Structures are given as structure tokens and as C-alpha cells.
Structure 1
Amino acid sequence: MEEDKKPGSRNRLRTVSLVVACGLAGIVAVALGLMLADALTLYAHESSGGQPMLYVMEQAEPGENRIVPLTEQDFADHPALDAVIRGEERNPSAWEWGMSDRRFIGGANVSYAESRALQDAYGPDRETWVYPHLEYEGAYYLVVTTWP
């Protein structure tokens, strides 16, 4: 009880609570700053006049790569992928000379957000940098997105 009456213990409690409050405010400020930087980066890319692209190649055999079966939900989530593989953007080229097991089947403009979503879903493995093969109706596809 006598310690509660001492002004030193109250000051220590105030100091600790002030340090904790400042630490939490700093963490929130850093998180908000990172979110703002990400939003500004996307805005700058979209305002640059360039347009990200989705390119799809068909491959005869997947080899030993990981295979991801495409579902109706995948096509609903990524309309550009649907347009290239099953729709109006599909325009298969001849099987490439020298690479007789691969051909370009089409491409489409996508937004930066869609490009990022496609890259996250179907991009290369971060350790091996090998792209998965997407399987749909017995055919195998590679998906590549580019930013200007």
C-alpha cells in the first residue's frame, strides 16, 4: 500500500504505458505506410499507359512439372484465362519449329490486379522457378503474364 502512494511507481507505470502505446502506434503507421506504397505503385503502373498482358502456350506433354487441373471456378475467377483457352481470344498458332511440342494459343490484356492474381495462382514456384502446367480437357497450358 505504501508503494502505491510513492510517486515513482506511478511514473514508471505511465512511462511503460506510453512506450507500449507509442510502439503500437508505430506498428500501425508502418503497416499503413506499406499499404499506401503498394496502392501508389499499382496506381503508377496503371497510369503509365502500358497494359499488362496474359499469354498462354499449349504444350503437348507436361513432363515432370506440377499439373493443376482447371475448374469452372478458375475460369470464373479469371475471365481473361477463359477467353484465351476457351473463348474469343483463342487463336492457336502452328506448333513451333524447333519446339515441336509447344505452341502459342493466344493472349489478352489484363489489369494489374488480374495480372498479379494470375501470377500468384499459376506463376512459377518460388524455389525452382518452374511453371506449373494447367490441364483442361486433356491439353496442357503454360500461363505467363507481363508488365510493361
Structure 2
Amino acid sequence: MEKDKNPKSRNRLKTAGIVLACGLAGVIAVVLGFVLADALILYAYENSGGQPMFYVMERTEPGESMIVPLTEKDFEQHPALAAVIRGEERNPSAWEWGYRDQRVVGGTKVSYAESKALHDAYGPQGERGLYPLTEYEGAYYVILTTWP
């Protein structure tokens, strides 16, 4: 009983509570700082005057590349992909874009978020960083994104 009435015991608990509250507030401040920094960086990119581009190149043969078949879900998730491969942004060039077995079939401007999503889904993969080929209706495509 004497410990409960001891003022030093109450001060230790009060000090421990203050330290714990300050530590928790510090962790929350750091997390919010990272979220704010990420938002500010994305805002700066979006308002820098440049905009990411999305290009699709068609290949005649898949070679030894990994092949990812495109589905309706892919076109629903990425409207730019549907516009370039199926629709209004499709404008195939000649078959001589660097190599005689590939050509650009189209491109369009996309948002930074869409560019990142496309890059994550169809960009370089594996240890060697090779682009997978996507396949749609018997044609093979390489999907590229660029940032200004």
C-alpha cells in the first residue's frame, strides 16, 4: 500500500506515459510526412509541363520471350491499352522501327498513375529485365511507357 501513495511511483508512470505518447506521435508524424512527400512529388511531376507517354510495338515473332495473353479485364483496367491496340489511337507505322520484325502501332499520353500501373503490369520483369510480350488476337506486342 505504501507504494501506491509514493509520489515517485506516480511520477514514473506519468513519465512513461508521456514518453509513450511522444513516441507514438513521432511515428504518426513520420508516416504522414512520407505520405505528404509522395503526394507532393506526384503533384510536381503532373504539373511539370511534361506528361508520360504510352507506346505499343507489334512484333512478328515471339522468339523466346515470355508471353502474357491480354484479356478483357486488361482492357477494362487500362483504357489506354484498349485505345492503342483496338481503337482510336491505333496508327501502325512501317515494319522498320529499329528492327524489321517490329513496328509501333500507336501511342497516347497517360497520367503518371496509369503509366506506373502499365509499367508494373507489362514492364521489364525478372533478373534480366526483359519485357514480356503480350498477345492479342494472334499478334504480339511490347508495351512501353516513358516519363518526361
Same-fold call, TM cutoff 0.5: yes
DSSP 3-state at the match of 1:55:
strand
Give the corresponding residue for 1:49: 49
1:19-51 alpha-carbon deviations (Å, 9 max, x no partner)? 222222112111111111111111111211112
Q: Let me know the Cα RMSD of the aligned residues.
A: 1.8
Question: Normalising by the residue count of structure 2, what TM-score does the alignment of the two structures yield?
Answer: 0.89
Pairs aligned (count): 148
Q: Give the superposition deviation at 1:98.
A: 5.9
Stretches of structure 1 that go unaligned for 5 or more consecutive residues are none
Give the corresponding residue for 1:139: 139
Q: Is residue 89 from structure 1 mapped to residue 67 from structure 2 by the alignment?
A: no
Higher mean C-alpha deviation, range 12-21 or range 129-138 = 12-21
Q: How many percent of aligned residue pairs carry the same amino acid?
A: 70
Distance 1:97 1:54 in 2: 16
Give the corresponding residue for 1:2: 2
Describe the shift of the 1:20–1:64 C-alpha distance in structure 2 as closer, same or farther (beyond 3 A). farther
Distance 1:67 1:118 in 2: 16
Stretches of structure 2 that go unaligned for 5 or more consecutive residues are none
Distance 1:83 1:59 in 2: 18
Describe the shift of the 1:97–1:75 C-alpha distance in structure 2 as closer, same or farther (beyond 3 A). closer
